[in-house]
Amino acid sequence: MSDEQRTVKSVEAAAEHPESGLLGTVAIDPTAPALFSLPAEAEATGGRAAAADRRRSVARSVLPPVLLGVAFLLLWQLAVVAFDIKPYLLPSPSDIVGQIFIVLPLLWSSLLATGLNALIGLVLGGLIAVVLALLASRVSILDRMIVPIVAAVAVVPIVALAPILNTMFGSTSDTPRRIVVLIVVFAPVFINTLRGLRQVRPVHRDLMRAYAASNWQLTRTVTLPGAVPFIFTGLRIAAPLGVISAIVAEYFGGLQNGLGSRITSAAANSAYPRAWSYVFGAIILGLVFYAVTLLLERLASRRRA
Amino acid sequence: MTDTALPTTESSAPGVPLAAISVRSAGKIFTVAKGAEVQALTNIDLTVAPGEFVSLIGPSGCGKSTLLRLIADLDSATSGEILVFGKTARQARLDQEYGIAFQSAGLLPWRSVQANIELPLELHGVGKTERAARAEELIELVGLTDFRSRFPDQLSGGMQQRVAIARSLAERPKLLLMDEPFGALDEMTRERMQQELVRICSETGAAVVFVTHSIPEAVFLSDRVVVMSPRPGRIVDIVDVDLGPGTERSDSLREDGAFFAGVTAVREALHGAPVTPRGADLR
């Protein structure tokens, strides 16, 4: 059947579909290496040659930044040794790596503590944002009420809020940190979700009206599934912010169990290589959050024609 | 050659079948910016018999899609009366008296072919096994058996449109409303789809209102072609076409004299030029 040959073509054509313009903000690069490609697509492109192709393109996209990073570390090491830079100004990468191995168990546990705060804040903030966006998209009065409040929430200075929350919840609690993350995460997820909920195509609206579908059915079968990629885009933007806020929130006292508190206490004790090793942990944590949410976003966006 | 006489008897009388659609002096006025009004349709009278295939044809802006939307109750008429199987358009919509397909297939991209076809059944509370069985029949009917679990972005335009047609047939409607469903397809696919549609419709016995701006398409598919004209949108002529039962319409018909005669008749009605027909009798 000639239609089968056309299938592949239509996939390409889908990229030019007018609707894909709406996704401009989602920032999905269709030319990016197909790390998460579907079984069906893999089948279509046909077997081993494609797999080799993919491996090559991954190598091409992964290798250059790795090489650059290694070169940078080497230069750093050389500079520190050659100019005899004191550790309190800039410790060498080898000192930092040495410290990482020494503090590894503590680094791991503080990474988990901060990571858990960020995760809880992200999930709760995301859920609240999605629910409120749903309400705002359905009820226009709520829309007018919520949107200005979101603008206010978006500009709350977490640096000022963290100490206040510490006094409110006591210094032995992780709650203030989680609330800080929640507040930071809320705005980007809310704004993206609301945008997604408003992207319903007229043809789908007509179709659901022709089916005499209820409002709730419209939301459940069309509006919400259509907004899913937008929700995950919001989460992808919010996740690294959430990690940063979880760390910064620890600078204002309270429990000494996370990366932020370890960085401040190491710096206070002039243990600069140790402080840097925790900074390294913070970078890893941020990258993990970013990578996972990016993966989720791609999975959620794969079915947008 | 042309025939504007309409069966006007409204049929609650016993023995006479109830008209699938009955439009009585319907009009539609759109209010555009700053209170300005546009007369989209004026004084529309149209009756569609059960099982009849009627095309609406005319230049852009003649209100053919608007008329279809009024029948579907996607918009409401500002004057006149529209009855679908003897009910108001609104009641007919609520009772799911019709199936509908649009120019864009309008499939949900996150649903497989099968799940898309099952959508109306799912919304109306049909059980899972029954849904799957009906989807299976329809997938076979439109020839997509191997694509059941594919997603819309993996299908060609023609295949997507076939899914949309299968979906419109899901609840075995006695009336199908189609708004340029083949408008975006290439000519070859289009002709094949027309043939499939005409076969499916005569098999299911559904009445069809089909909006198009292709003359050959209208002639090939229809029992009657309603010719419309813009500013204000109105019916200028209704051309009877009789190319035999849908099941027997094949590609060869496209080169048949009767087909050309139909095309000529519709052309003349569209252009409003009373050119003398050159001897071909449509019937």
pLDDT digits (tens, 9 = 90+) for B37-70: 888 888 888 888 888 889 998 888 888 888 889 8
Q: Which residue has the tokens 């598919």?
A: B221
pLDDT for res A36 = 38
pLDDT for res A171 = 76
Residue B196 binned pLDDT confidence (cut-offs 50, 70, 90): confident
Q: Answer yes or no: do A204 and A257 share one domain.
A: yes
pLDDT for res A127 = 95
Structural domain harbouring B199 = 21-97+174-271
Flag whether A87 is in a domain.
Answer: no
pLDDT for res A179 = 92
Q: Answer yes or no: do B194 and B60 share one domain.
A: yes
On whether any CB of chain A is under 8 Å from the CB of B87, the answer is no
Q: Answer yes or no: do B130 and B209 share one domain.
A: no
Q: Which residues of chain A carry a pLDDT beneath 50?
A: 1-45, 305
Q: In chain B, what residues touch A40 (CB-CB under 8 Å)?
A: 150, 154
**Mutate: best of B74, B90, B110, partner A, most A CBs <10 A:** B110
Sign of the alpha-carbon dihedral angle for B85, B89, B91, B93: positive
Q: Answer yes or no: do A189 and A145 share one domain.
A: yes
Q: Answer yes or no: do A139 and A188 share one domain.
A: yes
Q: Answer yes or no: do B50 and B165 share one domain.
A: no
Flag whether A121 is in a domain.
Answer: yes
Q: Answer yes or no: do A142 and A15 share one domain.
A: no
pLDDT for res B11 = 43
Cβ atoms of residues A243 and A285 within 8 Å: yes
CATH number at residue B47: 3.40.50.300
Residue A270 region by backbone torsions, left for phi larger than 0, else alpha for psi between -120 and 50, else beta? left
Q: Answer yes or no: do A275 and A141 share one domain.
A: yes
Residues 6+ apart with CB under 8 A from A180: A121, A158, A161, A162, A165, A245, A246, A248, A249
Q: Answer yes or no: do B93 and B217 share one domain.
A: yes
Residue ranges in A198-271 assigned as alpha helix (H): 202-210, 215-218, 224-249, 259-268
pLDDT for res B254 = 75
Domain-terminating residue out of A46, A75, A104: A75
Domain-terminating residue out of B125, B154, B172: B172
CATH number at residue A117: 1.10.3720.10
Q: Answer yes or no: do A188 and A243 share one domain.
A: yes
Flag whether B16 is in a domain.
Answer: no
Interior/surface letters B221-237, b for 16+ CB within 10 angstroms, e for the rest: bbbbbbbbbeebbbbeb
Edge-to-edge strands, sheet with B207-212: B98-101, B175-179, B207-212, B53-57, B224-229, B234-240
| Mean per-residue pLDDT of chain B | 81
pLDDT > 70? residue B256: yes
Flag whether B5 is in a domain.
Answer: no
Q: Answer yes or no: do B87 and B156 share one domain.
A: no
Flag whether B125 is in a domain.
Answer: yes
Q: Answer yes or no: do B248 and B112 share one domain.
A: no
Q: In chain A, what residues touch B157 (CB-CB under 8 Å)?
A: 10, 13
Flag whether A101 is in a domain.
Answer: yes
Identity of the amino acid at A246: A
pLDDT > 60? residue B213: yes
Select from B146, B154, B157 the Cβ nearest to the Cβ of A40: B154
pLDDT digits (tens, 9 = 90+) for B11-31: 444 555 678 888 888 888 888
The answer to whether the CB atoms of A221 and B152 lie below 8 A apart is no
Q: Answer yes or no: do A291 and A227 share one domain.
A: yes
* Count of helices and strands (H, E) across chain B: 8, 10
Domain-terminating residue out of B172, B198, B213: B172
Flag whether A85 is in a domain.
Answer: no
Domain-terminating residue out of A75, A109, A127: A75
Cβ atoms of residues B28 and B41 within 8 Å: yes
Q: Answer yes or no: do A60 and A103 share one domain.
A: no
Per DSSP, the residues of B151-170 read -GGGS-HHHHHHHHHHHHHT
pLDDT digits (tens, 9 = 90+) for B124-157: 888 888 888 888 888 887 788 888 888 888 888 8
Per DSSP, the residues of B93-126 read HHTT-EEEE-SS----TTS-HHHHHHHHHHHTT-
Domain-terminating residue out of B125, B157, B172: B172
Q: Answer yes or no: do B216 and B87 share one domain.
A: yes
The 8-class DSSP code of residue B2 comes to B
**Using CA atoms, how far apart are residues A135 and A219, in angstroms rounded to an integer?**
11
Q: Answer yes or no: do B258 and B194 share one domain.
A: yes
Q: Answer yes or no: do A17 and A127 share one domain.
A: no
Domain-terminating residue out of A75, A107, A133: A75
On whether any CB of chain A is under 8 Å from the CB of B51, the answer is no
Q: Which DSSP helix (H) or strand (E) runs through A113? A: helix A93-138
Minimum CA–CA partner of A8 in chain B? B154
Select from A7, A14, A213 the Cβ nearest to the Cβ of B123: A213
- Beta pairing partners, B210: B55, B178
Minimum CA–CA partner of A39 in chain B? B150
Q: Which of B136, B167, B23 is nearest to A203 (CA)?
A: B167
The answer to whether the CB atoms of A221 and B108 lie below 8 A apart is yes
Burial classification of residue A39, based on how many CB atoms lie within 10 Å of its CB (0-12 exposed, 13-18 middle, 19 or more buried): exposed
Select from B74, B110, B151 the Cβ nearest to the Cβ of A210: B74
Q: Answer yes or no: do B84 and B192 share one domain.
A: yes
Instruction: Report which of residues B281 and A213 the model is more confident about.
Output: A213
Q: Answer yes or no: do B182 and B65 share one domain.
A: yes
Per DSSP, the residues of B170-229 read TT--SEEEEESTTTTS-HHHHHHHHHHHHHHHHHHT-EEEEEES-HHHHHHH-SEEEEEE
Q: Answer yes or no: do B42 and B163 share one domain.
A: no
pLDDT for res A29 = 38
Mean pLDDT confidence for B237-247? 74
Q: Which two tokens stand for residue A106?
A: 């503590």
pLDDT for res A68 = 93
pTM tops 0.90: no
pLDDT for res B252 = 72
The answer to whether the CB atoms of A210 and B108 lie below 8 A apart is no
Structural domain harbouring A126 = 95-301
Flag whether B7 is in a domain.
Answer: no
Q: Answer yes or no: do A99 and A71 share one domain.
A: no
Flag whether A80 is in a domain.
Answer: no
Q: Answer yes or no: do A119 and A235 share one domain.
A: yes
Flag whether A289 is in a domain.
Answer: yes
Domains identified in chain B, total number: 2
Q: In chain A, what residues touch B159 (CB-CB under 8 Å)?
A: 3, 6-7, 10
Cis-peptide, bond into residue B232, ω within 30° of zero? yes
pLDDT for res B16 = 56
Q: Answer yes or no: do A183 and A59 share one domain.
A: no
pLDDT for res A99 = 86
| Chain A positions with Cβ closer than 8 Å to B | 3-4, 6-7, 9-11, 13-14, 40, 44, 201, 203-204, 206-213, 217, 221-222, 225-226, 228, 303-305
Mean pLDDT confidence for B90-95? 85
pLDDT > 50? residue B120: yes
Flag whether B8 is in a domain.
Answer: no
The 8-class DSSP code of residue A219 comes to I
On whether any CB of chain A is under 8 Å from the CB of B104, the answer is yes
Q: Answer yes or no: do B199 and B244 share one domain.
A: yes
Q: How many CB atoms lie within 10 A of CB B205?
A: 10
Flag whether B220 is in a domain.
Answer: yes
Domains identified in chain A, total number: 2
Flag whether A81 is in a domain.
Answer: no
